Structure 1
Amino acid sequence: MGVTVLQIFPDVSRSGCHETEKLHKRIMHLDAVQSGMFTVECDSYYTTAQTGGGVRKMHIVHNSETPTTTYAILDTGSKQVTLSADYLFDLMLPRLDHMYQSKKNLKIESKGAKYEIGDFLVKIGSVTMSGHYKGILVEVEYLPCVTPALCWSLVREFMQSFMGSCVKPTLPSYLQTRLHDIHTPQDTVQQYVEKFNEFRDGPSFTATQPATPAT
């Protein structure tokens, strides 16, 4: 596990398939090798009216890279707490329905192809919510390093090589307060939740073509 950075890639044409194919071609031109597929999905639960204390959220995240782990992110509004549990944690969720209720129309996932290129692992995902295409999310992991402060310049330069100017010079907001911390899988999951929330709050549209990755 190295340092992971997530980046939304702007889909100017809003065609889904066309833009993801563009990214696949760019990364292949850098001699990347496709190494399989991935899926990250997120279900969001909200506190019921009976619990009091304002509305709180619980995001349940599954990542195909860690298939035996369920991540639960408790969002109080002022802070987030991430819990890692056995996959059987999902079986406990029905017992929490007196406290948390899911909103099925908010289920969101990023799914696509992953590539290996040198010390980098790249995942190009098409994001869908309740079956509707929302956009493109790219995950880049630099494997040899576990501290963002020591590798951000290198990661940024690599990301700009195939995503262009949408990659800003400054660190993503989530990593700015964790520059010198050891990066963990929980940090990756929290970044996904942050980006998924951006997609949920953004405009919704239907892709003119299925947003499936090129092979």
Structure 2
Amino acid sequence: MGVTVLQIFPDTSRSGCLETEKLHKRIMHLDATQSGMFSVDCETYYTNVQIGSGQRKMHILHNSETPATTYAVLDTGTKQITLSADLLFDLLLPRLDHMYQNKKNLKIESKGAKYEIGDFVVKIGTVTMSGHYKGILVEVEYLPCSVPNLCWSLMREFMQSFMGSCVSATVPPFLQKKLGRE
């Protein structure tokens, strides 16, 4: 596992198709090979009773890269607790209906193509919420490195090669916290 960056790609047309097609062509011009498809989905559950200053949330995620695992992120208000379990966790959710309730028709999904180019894995996907198009996400992973400080400039240059100026020269806030850790 390397360093991974998620980047929102601007979609001026708001259609998704045209911009993702441009990205697919650009990454293929760099001699990337398509290595499959990916899918990530998230459903959010809310507490039935108000705890403290507000409702707490539990996000349930599934990733096609790890098909036998279900992820849960519990938002306590002050911190987030991450849990990974097998698919049987999904069967436990109906038994928690006295505590957590699923907001109907609220499912967020990102689906798209996965590419490999040298030491990089690139996923280009469209994001939908309850079936309605919301935007484009690009995930770039640099496999040989696990210290963001050592590879950020290389990753930025690579992302700019096919995404252009939408990639900021400054380090994303979530990576800034991890810079310098070895």
TM-score bracket for the superposition, by shorter chain length: over 0.9
- TM (norm. structure 2) is 0.95
- TM (norm. structure 1) is 0.81
Amino acid across the alignment from 1:57: K
Amino acid across the alignment from 1:17: C
What are the ranges of 5 or more consecutive residues in structure 2 without an aligned counterpart? none
1:153, distance to aligned residue in structure 2 (A): 1.0
Q: Name the counterpart of 1:132.
A: 132
* Structure with the higher helix share, 1 or 2: 1
Q: Name the counterpart of 1:123.
A: 123
Deviations 1:127-165 (A, max 9, x none): 111111111000001010112111111111111111111
How many residues align structurally? 181
2:27 aligned with 1:60: no
Distance 1:128 1:82, change over 3 A: same
SS at match of 2:66: coil
Q: Is the 8 A contact 1:148 1:180 kept in 2?
A: yes
Deviations 1:164-202 (A, max 9, x none): 1111112222222122457xxxxxxxxxxxxxxxxxxxx
1:18, distance to aligned residue in structure 2 (A): 0.6
Q: Is the 8 A contact 1:104 1:130 kept in 2?
A: no
1:31, distance to aligned residue in structure 2 (A): 0.5
Deviant stretches of 4+, over 3 Å: none
Q: After superposition, where does 1:102-121 map in structure 2 within 5 Å? A: 102-121=102-121
Instruction: Work out which structure has the larger RCO, using CA pairs closer than 8 Å and 6 or more positions apart in sequence.
Output: 1
CA distance in structure 1 between the partners assigned to 2:132 and 2:93 by the alignment:
25
Distance 1:59 1:181, change over 3 A: farther
CA distance in structure 2 between the partners assigned to 1:69 and 1:7 by the alignment:
24
Amino acid across the alignment from 1:151: C
What are the ranges of 5 or more consecutive residues in structure 1 without an aligned counterpart? 183-215
In our comparison, the structure showing a higher alpha carbon Rg is 2
CA distance in structure 1 between the partners assigned to 2:99 and 2:180 by the alignment:
36
CA distance in structure 1 between the partners assigned to 2:99 and 2:173 by the alignment:
31
CA RMSD of aligned residues (A): 1.3
Deviations 1:67-97 (A, max 9, x none): 1111101112322111111121111111111
Amino acid across the alignment from 1:177: K
CA distance in structure 1 between the partners assigned to 2:171 and 2:66 by the alignment:
25
Q: Name the counterpart of 1:199.
A: none
Q: Is the 8 A contact 1:43 1:104 kept in 2?
A: no
